[in-house]
């Protein structure tokens, strides 16, 4: 069958969003119906069908406790409820206009190592299984960024309750769930990791630091507040770079074990237009 699932992975600033957007446009220009989901959608009102990081993942007991505490919202909560592998899941941004419910759901959000690995992965695998079932009934090609490596490794490394082999096993399990869609995985790879992160740090600076910090400082804080940050005593940019280096090492090992169609693109060795033409040509040959 033709490829129905395309995913872009890579370190921050490697061009995932731009490549995903260009491929989406190329597909539609060539009369191939496609949709695209970016990682930043997880912070908006658009629910990403392969991402649970802005989802509250609860047991049935925990979900019922939320309802009992504010029964006036019961109908709304039950209407938004989805159950994946037995976990009661609610997309939290749907409740931004309901501060009380939003705050009650926040402790269960599957983000920044907030949930134990088993809960996070069972919910994610259930979510992706539901997506695959839905995708097989449509004629669309789905383009994503960060479904496999960044989403999973960021969470599992921050949680610190599984080792590298377990992380790899989880990623291969997700790949197996996606198999009916004949996945195509692009791994965008800058030659110099440290140079790339420094480049992104210079580009993503705050125009009002009192309201929100520069990207690099936000990333340090994000890591500091996780279990990984506490155990490794993360306190600055040098520790953040150690984290990125470790994550990319695991990514490379996982990439080598993927059985799907895959392409590693060295982004420093190819210009922008050539890169996008190459990506489309790889899809076209499948």
Rounded to whole angstroms, the Cα distance separating 76 from 39 reads 26
pLDDT at 43: 59
Q: Look at residues 30, 70, 49, 249 and name the one whose alpha carbon lies nearest to residue 147.
A: 49
- pLDDT digits (tens), the chain, 286 positions: 589 999 999 999 999 999 999 999 999 999 999 999 998 655 566 889 999 989 999 999 999 999 999 899 999 999 999 999 999 999 999 998 999 999 999 999 998 888 999 999 999 999 999 999 999 999 999 999 999 999 999 999 999 999 999 999 999 999 999 999 999 999 999 999 999 999 999 999 999 888 889 999 999 999 999 999 999 999 999 999 999 999 999 999 999 999 999 999 999 999 999 999 999 999 999 8
Angle between helices 237-257 and 149-159 (to 10 degrees): 120
Rounded to whole angstroms, the Cα distance separating 217 from 199 reads 14
Measured on CA atoms in the order 253, 220, 224, 100, is the torsion positive or negative?
negative
- In CATH, which of 3.40.50.300, 3.40.50.150, 3.40.50.720, 3.40.50.11820 is domain 5-48+142-284? 3.40.50.300
DSSP letter (8 states) at residue 115: S
Q: What are 213-230's pLDDT values in tens digits?
A: 999 999 999 999 999 999
Beta strand pairing call for 55-58 and 82-84: unpaired
Rounded to whole angstroms, the Cα distance separating 184 from 33 reads 17
- For the chain, the structural domain boundaries read 5-48+142-284
């Amino acid at each position: 069958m033709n490829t129905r699932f395309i995913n872009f992975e890579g370190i921050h600033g490697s061009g995932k969003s731009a490549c995903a957007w260009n491929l989406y446009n190329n597909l539609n220009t060539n009369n191939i119906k496609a949709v695209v989901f970016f990682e930043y959608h997880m912070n908006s009102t658009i629910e990403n069908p392969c991402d649970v990081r802005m989802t509250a993942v609860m047991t049935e007991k925990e979900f019922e406790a939320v309802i009992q505490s504010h029964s006036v919202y019961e109908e709304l909560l039950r209407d938004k409820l989805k159950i994946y592998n037995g976990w009661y899941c609610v997309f939290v941004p749907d409740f931004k206009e309901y501060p009380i419910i939003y705050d009650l759901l926040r402790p269960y959000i599957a983000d920044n190592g907030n949930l134990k690995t088993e809960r996070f992965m069972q919910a994610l695998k259930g979510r992706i299984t539901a997506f695959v079932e839905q995708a097989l009934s449509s004629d669309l090609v789905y383009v994503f960024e960060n479904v496999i490596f960044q989403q999973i490794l960021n969470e599992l490394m921050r949680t610190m309750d599984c080792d590298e082999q377990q992380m790899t096993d989880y990623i291969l399990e997700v790949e197996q769930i996606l198999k009916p869609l004949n996945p195509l995985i692009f791994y965008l790879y800058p030659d110099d990791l440290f140079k790339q992160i420094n480049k992104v740090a210079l580009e993503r600076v705050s125009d009002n630091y009192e309201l929100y910090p520069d990207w690099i400082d936000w990333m340090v804080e994000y890591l500091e507040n996780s279990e990984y940050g506490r155990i490794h005593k993360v306190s600055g940019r040098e520790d953040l770079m150690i984290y990125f280096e470790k994550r990319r090492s695991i990514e490379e090992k996982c990439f080598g074990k993927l059985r799907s169609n895959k392409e590693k693109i060295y982004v420093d060795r190819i210009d922008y237009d050539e890169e996008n033409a190459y990506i489309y040509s790889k899809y076209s040959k499948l």
